[in-house]
Amino acid sequence: MNKYDTEDIIYALSTPLVQSAIGVIRVSGKGCIKVLSTHFKSKIDLNKAESNTVIYGRLENLDNCLITVFKHGHGYTGEESLEISCHGGLQIIISILNFLSSLSFRQAERGEFTFRAFMNGKMDLTQAEAVNELINSKSLVSSSMALNKLNGELFKIIKNLTDKITDFLTNIEFQLDYTDEDDLLYADFDVNELKSVDNEILKLLDTYSVGRIYSEQLNVVICGVSNAGKSSLFNYLLREERSIVSSHLGTTRDYIESSCVISDIPVKLYDTAGLRETSDVIEKEGVKRSRDLIESADIILYLIDPKNPVIDKRLIEDKRCIFIKTKSDLIKSGLTKSGLIKSYLNVDTRIENEIEQKCISVSVITGDGFSELFKAVKDKVFSNLQKIENVRNGEVFIQSARQKKSLLQAHNGLNAVINGYENGVTMDLLAIDIREVLNNLGEITGEVTSDDILDRIFSKFCVGK
């Protein structure tokens, strides 16, 4: 049994509890219209109002409000519900909430309205999760990804895969029914069709590397030797003076993090301590922390000071690195002559030249080079197959770790069936594995789901959604 009781009438404030123009309070549950109608003075009796219409009136003696009426089968939750739009004064909102509580309505749990929508068949689990992804999205692309799923695009894909696999299972079960038990039970089907289903699952799984970034954040770590211009770039990208900029070596001793959006990608940006060998204990710890951050980075912005163009041998071949020469204004104005890049330990001039070639030159003074840098970040995130444009065209990107896990289990299960078939495993055993794959896919849409999973999903929502 999950923690939500679907018999209760529930209520919650759906807008933030701050003084504002309007507050919206949701009420949902069987009988809520009848109960509230006796406390609402209006030209049209709430009981007689048509579904999806708005009625103006006075709620108790608390406020003049607009109440939107949703009859059973309509609205967000799919059950009888009301949306009260009241004046956004804190006192008014609180007194209406207290009043609803005095009617024995229960304050809703997190995500309980969406939970009811799911239980009433208004949406499947992929759409319910998309609601939360939409609310939490930090960029336009994130919200487009969520909207595609809210429109049922992921549900359609999973349903299509499930249908194909169910056909296989039916075929096998049919053969099992008509085969003598004493015979060896070998399945007779076209294994290539299963392989093509598996390919579709793999394609979907592949979208997670990008989808994850849009539901969490891209970890971008700025590193390089002291004085390379790391804190200046950090501030430039955030457009605020958060990090102390100075020409004194070792000013940034620990790392600083902040959020921003680059090329419409939600980014967690880190400014780190300079990667230099040092005997100062505190600074040493800072350098160690920089190295730990670099380990877990999605993208590393490796800054090279044109006056002191050295690079860390360990990062030269790291695919996550974007090499950036800073202070291009000094070079342009002839104040500084750019030296050739040298690695810490003399490695290979061929590689050093290669980096010299692909280095992006930027200046935080003139703003030069930043469009090139933003494009480079975007290109690192998206592979050739996955493009931001695809999101706008409705392509589905997996964003939830839960969905990814179930897809991976389905992929492994299908592989077991394909291998089993190729190695002469009998039909009855193959049928068991195929049923398990259907379960894995059913977990994604919510056809097969434990209370525990539902609790975990909906407790991530806010109250009132």
Ligand X SMILES: Nc1nc2c(ncn2[C@@H]2O[C@H](COP(=O)(O)OP(=O)(O)O)[C@@H](O)[C@H]2O)c(=O)[nH]1
Least distance to ligand X, CB of residue 351, Å: 23
Q: How far apart, in whole angstroms, are the C-alpha atoms of residue 129 and residue 13?
A: 21
* Distance, CA of 425 to CA of 4 (rounded, Å): 44
Q: Is 232 in the site for Mg ion (CB under 5 A)?
A: no
Residue number with CB closer to Mg ion (68 or 231): 231
**Token representation of residue 221:** 């770590």
Residue with Cβ nearer ligand X (140 or 365): 365
The Cα–Cα gap between 392 and 129 comes to 19
Under the binding rule (CB under 5 A), the answer on residue 252 touching Mg ion is: yes
| Span interacting with ligand X, options 190-198, 201-209, 223-231, 432-440, rule CB under 6 A | 223-231
Q: Would you count residue 231 as binding Mg ion (CB under 5 A)?
A: yes
Residue 447 structure tokens: 């056809």
User: Does residue 245 touch ligand X according to CB under 6 A?
Assistant: yes
Give the nearer residue to Mg ion in terms of CB position, either 230 or 380: 230
**The pairing of beta strand 256-262 with beta strand 265-271:** antiparallel
Smallest CA-to-CA distance from 250 within 272, 273, 221, 271 is with: 273
Which of Mg ion, ligand X, none does residue 330 bind (CB under 5 to 8 Å by kind)? ligand X
The verdict on 272 binding Mg ion (CB under 5 A) reads no
Q: Does 230 bind ligand X (CB under 6 A)?
A: yes
- Which segment (157-165, 251-259, 386-394, 415-423) binds Mg ion by CB under 5 A? 251-259
Give the one entry of ligand X, Mg ion, none that residue 327 binds, where binding means its C-beta sits below a cut-off of 5 to 8 angstroms depending on kind: ligand X
Residue 328: CB minimum distance to Mg ion, A: 19
Residues sharing a CB contact under 8 Å with residue 124, sequence separation 6 or more, in sequence order: 118, 152, 155, 445, 446, 447
Which of 326, 343, 399, 406 contacts ligand X by CB under 6 A?
326
Shortest spacing between CB 231 and ligand X, in angstroms: 3
By rule CB under 5 A, what string of x and - marks binding of each residue 172-211 to Mg ion? ----------------------------------------
Which of these ranges, 153-161, 226-234, 378-386, 457-465, lies near ligand X under the rule CB under 6 A?
226-234
Dist. CA 266–CA 141, nearest whole Å: 9
Q: How far apart are CB 342 and ligand X at their closest, in Å?
A: 18
Positive or negative: CA dihedral 444, 445, 450, 456: positive
> What letter represents residue 384's amino acid?
N
The H or E element that residue 391 is part of is helix 388-392
Rounded least distance, CB 87 to Mg ion, Å:
49
Q: Which of residues 372-391 bind Mg ion (CB under 5 A)?
A: none
What distance in Å separates the CA atoms of residue 75 and residue 80, rounded to the nearest whole number?
Answer: 8
Which one, 28 or 231, has the nearer CB to Mg ion? 231
Compute the residue count for the chain: 465
Distance CA 458, CA 307 (A): 54
Q: Quick one: DSSP state of residue 38?
A: T
| Closest separation in Å from C-beta 310 to ligand X | 13
Q: How far apart are CA 432 and CA 401, in angstroms?
A: 26
Q: What track of x and - describes contact with ligand X for positions 247 through 286 (by CB under 6 A)?
A: x---xx---------------------x------------
Q: Which of 27, 73, 34, 35 is nearest to 51 (CA)?
A: 73
Q: Is 278 in the site for Mg ion (CB under 5 A)?
A: no
To the nearest whole angstrom, how small is the minimum distance from the Cβ of residue 360 to ligand X?
13
Pair of tokens at residue 308: 């002191």
At its nearest, how many Å lie between ligand X and the CB of residue 341? Answer: 16
Distance of CA 299 to the CA centre of its chain: 18
Residue closer to Mg ion, measured from CB, 270 or 382: 270
- Does residue 217 contact residue 266 with C-beta atoms inside 8 Å? yes
Q: Tell me, residue by residue from 359 to 388, as one string, x for binding to ligand X by CB under 6 A and - for no binding.
A: ----xxx-----------------------
User: Which positions ≥6 away from 409 have C-beta within 8 Å?
Assistant: 437, 440
Quick one: which of 316, 119, 306 has its CA closest to 227?
306
On whether the CB atoms of residues 139 and 265 are closer than 8 A, the answer is: yes
Judged by CB under 6 A, which of 64, 246, 353, 450 binds ligand X? 246
Count the residues of the shown chain that bind ligand X, applying the rule CB under 6 A.
20
Among 13, 108, 228, 300, binds ligand X (CB under 6 A): 228
- Compare residues 199 and 308 and give the one whose CB is closer to ligand X: 308
| Side-chain half-sphere exposure of 248, counting CA atoms within 13 A | 5
Q: Three-state DSSP class for 262?
A: strand
Residue numbers at the binding site for Mg ion (CB under 5 A):
230-231, 252
Residue numbers at the binding site for ligand X (CB under 6 A):
226-232, 245-247, 251-252, 274, 326-327, 329-330, 363-365
